[in-house]
Structure 1
């Protein structure tokens, strides 16, 4: 790579050319293979399409450093226009071949300036120990670690079928019913939005934000985005058939072009229903679904806060082993 001359410039994905969006996707792919060389590579078209996605009621801002047609660095700021108005989330990538040349600092300063202009006083971002330079960079910016997550991996070939059978077995006559959905049924959409908000009870460490509100419109937008990039999502949901309330859910994401890798998303059970084996039921149901429906899947990865002993206990019992560690940092801008 040649000497860096360009300054960060504003980038608008919806009005950019397909080639420009693909250039950012190539940066993402290069950074990913640097951190996760053992994984299937990212799908460039999928990453490029995702650049234009915005959650309802939120705004994103992008900055890019170009050298010719190549992207050397990219940063994104994301924040809500309706809630947690003090907060912005950032993401920053620098190509592995041009790190330690001050480029990340310049992009970070641009993002911080944008956050201040938007009236934000708190900025959060995530680093992983698979890219060790992230931690000293965060400290140099003056950020403080707010919560640390353990990334865990489950080898699907080693999953105990006896364990799955045991966790899927439920007492006769109980009022719970398990659903498996790729698309949320319209009749359940409002209840599903309420269920997703149970994730507000998950540990948040020192992160400074109010509970997030999720709407049916948000859920439908996320579904559309998942469909547009060719990703498959399965959601396991437990319904209390006496009240009609949804009391637990879990989700997995799978891309056929990256068949070996499955991402475990959120898992939540209402506090009033905990201690009844519902988390195990959800996880076992999705694991069996992966084994039956996700051809070529070899492993599942998931994240849990180190302080979330209950969920970590379920994962360890299932066979998940430590894979990496990621830290969410918080930077106060006042």
Structure 2
């Protein structure tokens, strides 16, 4: 239990992770660990050193602003505003975290107010944030701010020990003369980089609900920047893609992320199938192949966790058939600034 001073005497201060002393970054990393453990105590704990490093990482054309509430050397609250400088320039993403022992004292409201002012100065008229039912305080806070639910998602979890091997085998059986070839990469080869960027943009067809968001353009430069950030974190990313050997076009892909220090938990990233190639079993193929790959290549892995929009019936159907069960509700909120 952390000793919390009178919140009235605490100030929100700007924070620049890249120039901040390492001990301050680590203090924010400990805050993120404690907040995550409070919401999901059964999960492997976050690694504060990894979280501290993540604070310093920026994607191409990304701009961030940070704020912290300090109590001596400890971070009681942290907020981050992220903006893209070239795409969707009307919007920003925000994250507000308050230590579980320091909640209900107005720190979150003060952190939000500081970043709201930044967003408005930069001309951002929409702010998007996410909350999980594992931490009901976040949902209550979003409503308190006047945010509206824009997209409801189901977070699901799969026990790798409960996989149906016969189902995996059936989903990976391809017809005679099948023109598709399956690739598995940790780093996308240069020769496939432009094709993979084009493939990733299929995620623009995923449900957005009421989110005021335009299509995103993915570039090879972005992918390489993401690769560097993944490597810096010591994270393992496996990506599988199907290539139509007649044209060289990539028509489906899936990716997972795994951190050896939190070995039991694997995060399922995006899975997408090009609209023109749907109905050919490619989504089932890459999902089944990836789960077998995870069992072989991620020692100690026990669970795979994923998130899908509630209205994404096709992907939810695949996940349910594989054995994914409901784990939490994840809500994307939208707040329009005036």
Fold conserved between structures, TM > 0.5: yes
Q: Give the alignment's TM-score, normalised by structure 1.
A: 0.99
Query: Aligned pair 1:309/2:309, yes or no?
Result: no
The correspondence for 1:81, drawn from 80, 85, 92, is 85
Per the alignment, in what secondary structure is the counterpart of residue 56 of structure 2?
coil
Kindly state the Cα deviation for residue 192 of structure 1 after the two structures are TM-superposed: 0.7
Kindly state the Cα deviation for residue 44 of structure 1 after the two structures are TM-superposed: 1.3
1:255 is matched with 259
Runs (4+) off by over 2 Å: none
Query: Aligned pair 1:130/2:134, yes or no?
Result: yes
Q: Distance in 2 between matches of 1:172 and 1:233?
A: 31
2:119 is matched with 115
1:42 is matched with 46
The correspondence for 2:32, drawn from 16, 20, 28, is 28
1:292 is matched with 296
Q: Distance in 2 between matches of 1:147 and 1:177?
A: 35
Q: Distance in 2 between matches of 1:146 and 1:42?
A: 28
Kindly state the Cα deviation for residue 3 of structure 1 after the two structures are TM-superposed: 0.9
The correspondence for 2:231, drawn from 227, 230, 239, is 227
The correspondence for 2:214, drawn from 210, 214, 219, is 210
Tell me how many residue pairs correspond in the alignment.
Answer: 334
Query: Aligned pair 1:270/2:278, yes or no?
Result: no
Q: Distance in 2 between matches of 1:8 and 1:266?
A: 35
Deviations 1:110-132 (A, max 9, x none): 11111001110000000110000
Per the alignment, in what secondary structure is the counterpart of residue 15 of structure 1?
coil
Q: Distance in 2 between matches of 1:101 and 1:180?
A: 49
Q: Distance in 2 between matches of 1:236 and 1:298?
A: 20
Q: Distance in 1 between matches of 2:274 and 2:265?
A: 29
Kindly state the Cα deviation for residue 302 of structure 1 after the two structures are TM-superposed: 0.1
Deviations 1:30-63 (A, max 9, x none): 0000001001001111111110111101101100
The correspondence for 2:5, drawn from 2, 5, 9, is 2
Deviations 1:223-269 (A, max 9, x none): 10000011000001011111111111100000111110000000000
1:149 is matched with 153
Q: Give the alignment's TM-score, normalised by structure 2.
A: 0.98
Deviations 1:270-297 (A, max 9, x none): 0111111111101111100011010000
**Which ranges of structure 1 fall in alignment gaps of 5 or more residues?**
none
Report the aligned-residue RMSD.
0.6
Kindly state the Cα deviation for residue 298 of structure 1 after the two structures are TM-superposed: 0.3
